[in-house]
A and B are shown apart, each in its own frame.
Chain A
Amino acid sequence: MKFLEYQVKERFKAAGVPVPDGRLARTPDEAALAAGALGPIAVKAQVPVGGRGKAGGIKLAKTAADAKRVAAEILGMTIKGYTVKEVWCETAQEIIRELYLGLTLDRDARKPVLILSAQGGMEIEEVADQHPEAIAKLHPDPWRGPLSFEVRDLIFRAGLGPLQAQLTPLVVKLYSLARTYDALTIEINPLALTRDGGLVAADGKLEIDENAMFRHKDLHGADESEEDPMEAEAKRRKLTYVRLDGSIGVIGNGAGLVMNTLDLVQREGGRAANFLDIGGGAKAEAVHSALELLANDPNVKGILINIFGGITRGDEVAHGIIDASRDLNLTLPLVVRMTGTREEEGRQLLQEAGITPAASATAAARSIVELSGGSLR
């Protein structure tokens, strides 16, 4: 789950991480009121994606009239598929230096990693690419967290020794926020050094581990459903779905197998419209629901189903396919490859229903590419 900037800043503020004063506005008039109360402000589009500034979603306003005008420009904009419904209006900062402070999970170290850099304001991946020496990292012990001397060492290694007294508590607070919220990523970027010598979180990012949501039922993050109606519908159906840019709908069980099916489709000259994993032990209803979802996607010109029956049974899957094709009046080309548990029963059921199962995954991919309009490359 991702959060909007203002939602992140509310949490920063509650945890004692300094943030600029700000107000949320849903109309140009509310933005004007905010400027009236706060003075010169930055008007910032609230969408759960990066690159807002480049897209024109962040503008400065000196007066209430300015604020009303720029808010009118920003509200209603579309940034990477998200319509801007709210703007965060916050006191404009006199920034003399931009730093970076963040935490993410380091897969290779199998631990969280705190990252501090004197080069803030841009994506940390870019800094890592261009100025690897400007990044200092600390892998705190997952049981005791970062100790003060480790944090000081981190700060000195980042070349930020003079700010040590202010930075140390900030690093500790960020770590504790990450733990509290099961953060996959938490970032203050830029962490701004202002003219008056203070450090303030000028922007913030927070993404919570979906696996840990049972501990955070009361939290409401950004509405991500706008991004893609198909992905939203898949989520409602509890299917693991990712939209892709081709025309062949793909359904399978198991992430690795589905990924491999996408690769096979491309190898045969087609392009997949999606990744859809119905999971292990899937029953007829899951297959039915998956087929229904794809049949309603106007981009899909043909559907390939690839099932390995482990816990999932071939006859169950076959029933799902047959019922769904009938209920949906499916006219799209459909190719099924099925192997594993109750393979024979499943294949026979399909054949009786007029659906010929493919001999192998490769053959199935070739066949669906041909049937749905040939090579699309």
Chain B
Amino acid sequence: MSILLSRASRVLVQGLTGREGSFHTEQMKAYGTNVVAGVSPGKGGTLNLGVPVFDTVADARRETGAEVSGIFVPAPFAADAIMEAAAAGIGLIVCITEGIPLYDMVRARAFVEDAGAKLIGPNCPGLVTAGEAKVGIIPNHINTAGSVGIVSRSGTLTYEVIQGLSQAGVGQSTSVGIGGDPILGLSFSEVLRLFKDDPATRAVVMIGEIGGSDEEAAAEAVIGREFGKPVIGFISGRTAPPGKRMGHAGAIISGNTGTAASKLQALKRAGAQVCDTIEEVVAAAGAAVGQPSSAAHR
């Protein structure tokens, strides 16, 4: 099933009746995702897009056996939604919402950890297991099933890689956008470990960016320790000046930490193949899974 999500996963959507929530639920269903429930407080008992809506996550889980939640609720309420999902026993929580206050996230993250759930995001595009299911906002038409795993902090750059691979005839196993915020759920290290143990994944593309030290930590603790599969690394923001926040709340070089140079060096030292452009990433990933591609001229 690749990692985290399959066509069998029973998915609920928190904030299903909102503008973003309903648009993307439709897309998720169109992709084949098994969307079993929606949650919108006060709208329990209704049907939306053919999906039963519940007032609480606990109700939805009890009635439908949902085990994965996608969260599209506005930022002021999103941390509470994450905790509600964790408290109800949801195992995988995917929070798309951007702009959640950091103290809210710090608490929600600790809560999720205590509940033993996995959190992806926030401020992320979600994940897709190609050809099976999707939770989040990654465009449907770009994915092709195959054996390259993708883990990335950036949304649109993830799409670029997926589309580049697909156009080059190189399919993906699961693509995971972990998000661009300073306080995140799953880190590069945790997603890489899942890919390591996944028989459906034969090579991994890791798209990092400036800020923090998650890339370095993953290089040292996971990639450099008998990872056993080719890792193709890419870091955006090489030319970003220190002290300037480049859009993502987490993309900032402060002091000596977070530079592209440090991340690239750590990846190289760990044995990852480091690329300069997305075109190179696509070519390298194709070569790694035995499909030398014509991607470079795309």
Contact = CB atoms under 8 A, between A and B. Distances in A.
Interface of A: 105, 107-108, 110-112, 125, 128-129, 141-143, 179, 182, 184, 209, 211-212, 214-215, 240, 242, 244-245, 252-260, 262-267, 272, 275, 277, 280, 308-311, 339-341, 359-362
B103 to A, nearest CB: 6
Interface in B231-264: 236-241, 244-251, 254-256
Interface of B: 75-76, 99-104, 106-107, 109-111, 125, 137-139, 141-142, 152-160, 163, 180, 182-184, 207, 209-214, 217, 236-241, 244-251, 254-256, 276-279, 297-298
B210 A259 contact: yes
A111 B103 CA distance: 8
11 contacts: A105-B106, A107-B213, A125-B254, A128-B255, A182-B102, A214-B76, A244-B241, A256-B236, A265-B239, A275-B240, A309-B139
A150 B109 CA distance: 22
Nearest to A267: B276
B250 to A, nearest CB: 7
B137 A262 contact: no
B188 to A, nearest CB: 12
Contact of B156 (A125, A184, A214, A308): A308
Contacts of A263: 236-239
B236 A260 contact: yes
A198 to B, nearest CB: 31
Of the listed residues A128, A257, A260, A340, the one surrounded by the most CB atoms of chain B closer than 10 A to its CB is A260
Contacts of B278: 260, 361
A336 B210 CA distance: 25
Nearest to A308: B156
A361 B156 CA distance: 13
A280 B155 contact: yes
B102 A259 contact: no
A254 B159 CA distance: 10
Contacts of B153: 256
A257 B254 CA distance: 21
Contacts of A311: 137, 139
A313 B295 CA distance: 24
Contacts of B276: 267
Given A256-B251, A310-B125, 9 more contacts: A142-B107, A211-B100, A212-B103, A212-B104, A244-B244, A260-B160, A280-B137, A308-B160, A310-B137
Main secondary structure of the interface of B (DSSP, over half): loop
A257 B157 contact: yes
A112 B158 CA distance: 29
Contact of B106 (A108, A112, A240): A112
Contact of A362 (B125, B142, B209, B277): B277
Contact of A255 (B110, B251, B255): B251
Contact of A209 (B76, B103, B111, B139): B103
Nearest to A309: B139
B183 A255 contact: no
A360 B102 CA distance: 37
A272 B244 CA distance: 14
Contacts of A111: 106, 110
Contacts, number: 166
Nearest to B240: A259
A211 B277 contact: no
Main secondary structure of the interface of A (DSSP, over half): mixed
Contacts of A215: 101
A255 B241 contact: no
Contact of A110 (B106, B240, B277): B106
Given A242-B246, A254-B154, A340-B139, A141 B239 contact: no
A296 B248 CA distance: 25
A88 B91 CA distance: 54
B213 A110 contact: no
Contact of A266 (B103, B142, B212, B239): B239
A311 B19 CA distance: 13
A112 B104 CA distance: 11
A256 B154 contact: yes
Nearest to B100: A211
A242 B182 contact: no
A252 B154 CA distance: 13
Contacts of B76: 214
Contact of A142 (B110, B160, B241, B247): B110
A310 B101 contact: no
Of the listed residues B182, B184, B217, the one surrounded by the most CB atoms of chain A closer than 10 A to its CB is B182
A259 B182 contact: no
Contacts of A339: 160, 163
Nearest to A256: B154
B103 A142 contact: yes
A182 B106 contact: no
Contacts of B159: 308, 310, 340
A258 B239 contact: no
A310 B156 contact: yes
B127 to A, nearest CB: 14
Contacts of A362: 277, 279
Nearest to B211: A107
7 nearest A-B residue pairs (beta carbon): A256-B154, A254-B156, A255-B247, A212-B101, A256-B157, A257-B156, A259-B237
A78 B144 CA distance: 56
Contacts of B212: 107-108
A242 B244 contact: yes
Nearest to B298: A360
B239 A255 contact: no
Nearest to A213: B101
A177 B158 CA distance: 39
A30 B278 CA distance: 60
A267 B279 CA distance: 14
Contacts of A244: 241, 244
B17 to A, nearest CB: 18
Contacts of B217: 108
Contacts of B152: 256
A164 B127 CA distance: 49
A257 B236 CA distance: 8
B239 A256 contact: no
B110 A143 contact: yes
